Structure 1
């Protein structure tokens, strides 16, 4: 008997694709207005704000560092899963190496063909572009000790809780066979590779657990309450807990609006980005309205849009995403291929391990 039935594989694939594509669509919707105030957005685009993609980085549908880092997170998780065959099992190390490969895309003109470790994702030339990457992400992965693995006890950038720690955390929640507590811990251990403030890494853990709950077929509310329970066991959880409770309170406060979003913050720091993205997913009538609500505010529109899209995509699956936005999305083919490879690895890994094509795509060691 296979571990995964065909129906389970199809549902999982739809949710993984939905999470990755939804996050990228939300990211791209916010990319062109990321640094604009609500007043400026409405002056330029009308009272409703943006209603679709606006040009950013020379095109419509462009993604930012949020999507770039999410893709490299997934790449690292695939390699970690493969590494189990070798007896080497430390996923944060594989994710750290993946982030170092992302960092190379921020400084190099294109892929260095001499590097055997790049794999297929590291050779995607369109990813070699700076899209306003966070300073903590850059500094945490550079310098003479860039190879040093940050840990909870000795994190990189111990005072940083920028949203760069949470906007890349959704892929951890796609490890649906894992226990929620382990998903939370892995997201934390991979967050401190660049962001060491407890609120930052606990926000990443919380998002991963909420994604995990909905990817397993649960509701957003169930995911939030599970995240709150896991947070209560951690020291210095108060800011993250307050942010999640604030999002739940905002749902009950009345009609959704940009002004209500701004009571949750602007999204530049991790717990605010999490609260805004979650709130917009909770009140969304459909994926499009949720995403547009998540980006039309004063603040980090691309990150809040990405988090909302991750959640709604994992909740509803890829077919719920607005087709016109998906069709125009930068890097759609790469995103889909990586998502499908992740599903293949988790559902049929033993059939792939040792094959030349898989070893070339995802070199380990």
Structure 2
């Protein structure tokens, strides 16, 4: 693929994001059937602002600052500092980040929305940086998603979509793209089950109406405060599990693509017809078409009403002033520049459509999901994973276990003894003691990965927050390096009280909680 064709695909991706997001935004999170055929509101030559694109722009800024070798901790810093939305999983993650937690704990702890839609909607940047490299796109998507979705279904959703979109630079067969995406996620996760059920129900001959009923009866999440149609309320579709949104919306994307049969307008309009997270489902589908066919694919009737500008709403407008791309063209050029730097630095070579098998996940890729439960710190010769063994919460007179998983990453055959020291805090005791010595060979050898457990007890009144530091030193003193890893625990009180729902408006308004 030459540079001009690639540029057209990336340009089409971002234009598609604006088209789909603007099309679906007026009906976002409304539970009803939307019988639309075009934009539904007055447009003045600008797209509607959309966090789906905003956070990807934030990742662009992080990549321009930090380089291609970024991980969830880097993304978490930018998320906390410059992303100003505080709703649902975004707000939970920011609260956890401010407490000192690191991903994936930031996305798991106290997060009822880790199975929601906030991550897959920002997958396109990874596909555009790694076209034809679904494994790399999926790996970066994983680092992205755990920031605010931790160990939830939202992580699988972003990995799935990023792999599809990366492969879509070379493959236009929707069925193949779906299968490629599925190869990157566990078969038993709800996203995988939902996607497969969508294909099964479509293949069985169900129409749009029947498949929507299937979603409503089997996969709906809680609707919060948004509109619900009288018809759906009578059927009992007003309340599902809080935050359980990504399986149903991924199903809607799949239905849109399958019912569309390669027709862009039919695909994107079908997705909006289902309701739910309409800007996200339509935006993802439109981006995928842009990737497959390039900017010239979109008719003027979709572009002219919204123009080529970018309108943001969730990036700090003061500290990022002058850095946010103002047009789709500028965003495209900056992503292209990053892609070229990344490919040179990582020594990547271009794929071809004939090498179709390379787009599917290697059997070991899914090992990455083991990282959804631990915080990883990488040092020369050593990787440390912190396992909080459950929630990072400490209670009075109840020992809290902390586990360190240690890997010797030396590049030559070597063994060494690692000294571990857990610095204590006033009012706490550490057992069996706060110092340990661990023998490590190389990680691929029999004693190369070890687990070390400590138990922390609180004596006296609980404090809201406890910060500890674990120190690691090799006896051989490789590079004379002393390595430190933070550990954060909080105390919490209160129990969840069941909500009583009340009707506080006309029939078309959803139930609201008694507060």
Do Structure 1 and Structure 2 share a fold, with TM-score over 0.5? yes
Residues 163-202 of structure 1 correspond to what in structure 2 (within 5 A)?
Answer: 163-176=117-130, 179-202=133-156
> What CA distance in whole angstroms lies between the structure 1 residues aligned with 2:179 and 2:133?
15
- The answer as to 2:333 corresponding to 1:340 is yes
Let me know the Cα RMSD of the aligned residues.
Answer: 3.3
Structure 2 unmatched ranges of 5 or more? 222-243, 311-325, 345-515
Aligned to 1:73: 59
Q: Indicate how the Cα distance of structure 1 residues 79 and 238 shifts in structure 2: closer, same or farther if over 3 A, else same.
A: same
Moved more, 95-104 or 213-222: 95-104
TM alignment of 1:232-311, pairs within 5 A:
232=186, 237-254=188-205, 257=208, 259-264=210-215, 265=219, 269-284=245-260, 285-311=262-288
- Stretch deviating more after TM superposition (267-276 or 342-351): 342-351
Aligned partner of 1:127 in structure 2 is none
Provide Cα deviations, 1:266-309, integer angstroms capped at 9, x if missing partner.
Answer: 68712222221233123324222211111122311111111211
Q: Deviations over 1:74-98 (max 9, x none)?
A: 4434445xx25xxxx2243443344
Offset, 1:179: 4.0
Aligned to 1:356: none
How far 1:214 sits from its partner (Å)?
0.4
| TM-fit CA distance, 1:194 | 0.9
TM-score by length of 2: 0.52
Alignment of 1:54 with 2:40, yes or no, is: yes
Matches of 2:331 and 2:210, distance apart in 1: 37
* Aligned-partner Cα distance in 2 for 1:200–1:228: 14
Tell me what 1:320 maps to: 297
Aligned to 2:14: 20
1: CA distance between counterparts of 2:29 and 2:248? 16
Q: Which residue of 2 aligns with 1:9?
A: 3
Query: Structure 1 CA distance, aligned partners of 2:90 and 2:44?
Result: 24
CA distance in 2, matches of 1:271, 1:93: 26
- Bigger drift between 94-103 and 320-329 goes to 94-103
Within 2, Cα distance between the matches of 1:262 and 1:134? 28
- Whether the aligned pair in 2 keeps the contact of 1:96 and 1:149 (CA below 8 Å) is yes
Q: Is the 8 A contact 2:96 2:106 kept in 1?
A: no
Give the 3 Å change call, closer, same or farther, for CA 78–209 of structure 1 in structure 2. Answer: farther
Judged with a 3 Å threshold, the aligned counterparts in structure 2 of structure 1 residues 287 and 156 are, in CA distance, closer, same or farther, namely farther
Cα offset for 1:337? 1.1
User: Would you say the 8 A contact 1:26–1:295 is kept in 2?
Assistant: no
After TM superposition, the structure 1 = structure 2 runs for residues 134-145 of structure 1, keeping only pairs within 5 Å, are 134-142=87-95, 145=98
Higher strand share: 2
Superposed CA offset, 1:47-103 (max 9, x none): xx22222238999741322222233234434445xx25xxxx224344334434542
Is 2:182 aligned against 1:228? yes
Residues 1:316 and 1:225: Cα distance change in structure 2 (over 3 Å): same
1:288 and 1:322 in contact (8 A); partners too:
no
| In structure 1, C-alpha distance between the alignment counterparts of 2:279 and 2:164, rounded to whole Å | 20
- Asked if the contact 1:76/1:97 (under 8 Å) is kept, the reply is no
For 1:256 and 1:340, the matched residues in 2 are separated by 41
Structure 2 vs 1, CA of residues 70 and 251 (structure 1 numbering), >3 Å: closer, same or farther? farther
Query: 3-state DSSP class of the match of 2:83?
Result: helix
Distance 2:170 2:81 in 1: 30
Cα offsets for 1:181-222 (capped at 9, x unmatched): 332222112111111243110111001000011023453322
Paired residue for 2:161? Answer: 207
Distance in 2, Cα, partners of 1:304 & 1:146: 33
Contact 1:157 1:195 in 2 (8 A): no
Q: Match of 1:99?
A: 79
Partner of 1:120: none
Distance, in Å, in 1 between the alignment partners of 2:264 and 2:204 is 21
Are the aligned partners of 1:27 and 1:302 in contact in 2 as well (CA < 8 Å)?
yes
Aligned length in residues: 301
Larger RCO, structures 1/2 (Cα 8 Å, 6+ apart): 1
**Residues 323, 177 of structure 1: CA spacing in aligned structure 2 closer, same or farther, 3 A cutoff?**
closer
State the distance in 2 between where 1:318 and 1:208 align. Answer: 19
Aligned to 1:34: 28
- 1-side partners of 2:23 and 2:256: how far apart? 14
Larger Cα-atom Rg = 2
TM-score normalised by the chain length of structure 1:
0.71
Give a deviation string over 1:120-145, Cα, whole Å, max 9, x none. xxxxxxxxxxxxx7421133124662
